[in-house]
Each structure stands twice: as structure tokens, then as C-alpha cells.
């Protein structure tokens, strides 16, 4: 099972399993021991995030655009698992 939308700042729980960080830059104040893998190549493109935050695209369109950005990067996600 994959849980999403949990912050790296949240306290780890036994039920978390592997904690995989998907951010471009390492978050301030977080030690490397708090995550099992850092997959910065899987982040949502900034222009997609910006359009969603500005209300220019719906959440459904956001997820489609994110999935499109992942094409060709499938091997990266499998390496972390």
C-alpha cells in the first residue's frame, strides 16, 4: 500500500513502511535518517503545480499532467521499492 500526502515533517509511525521523499530540494531541518529514499526526479513539474495553485487546471487535470511527466521514469520508482 502506498500512502501519499504525508509531510516529511510528520512524526514517523510504525505503519509508515518505507518513507520516500519526493521533493526537488532537501527540506530544511530534516535529517537523512528520517527517510528511506529521496526521489527528486519524480517531482511534479513546477509549471503544473503553479497552474493548479492558480486555479487554472483542476485536480483531475493536475494528476493527468503529473502522470504524463512520469513517462520514461518508471525505473526510478521501482529502484526505491
CA angle 70, 19, 14 (to 5 degrees): 145
pLDDT given for residue 70 in this prediction: 87
- Residue for grid cell 529521496: 38
Mean of the per-residue pLDDT values of the chain = 85
With a pLDDT cut of 90, the percent of the chain lying above it is 43
**What percent of the chain lies above the pLDDT cut of 70?**
84
Q: Which residues of 38-60 are buried (b: 16+ CB within 10 A; e: fewer)?
A: bbeebbbeeebeebbeeeebeee
- At residue 51, the pLDDT reads 96
Phi, psi of 7, deg, nearest 5: -80, 145
What pLDDT, on the 0 to 100 scale, is given for residue 56?
97
Predicted confidence at residue 29, as pLDDT, reads: 93
Provide the pLDDT for residue 13: 83
37, 20 contact by CB (below 8 A): yes
Amino acid at each position: 500500500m502506498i500512502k501519499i500526502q504525508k509531510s516529511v515533517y510528520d512524526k514517523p509511525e510504525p505503519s509508515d513502511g518505507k518513507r520516500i521523499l519526493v521533493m526537488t530540494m532537501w527540506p530544511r531541518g530534516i535529517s537523512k535518517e528520517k527517510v528511506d529514499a529521496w526521489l527528486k526526479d519524480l517531482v511534479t513539474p513546477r509549471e503544473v503545480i503553479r497552474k493548479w495553485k492558480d486555479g487554472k487546471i483542476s485536480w483531475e487535470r493536475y494528476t493527468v499532467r503529473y502522470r504524463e511527466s512520469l513517462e520514461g521514469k518508471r525505473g526510478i520508482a521501482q529502484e526505491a521499492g
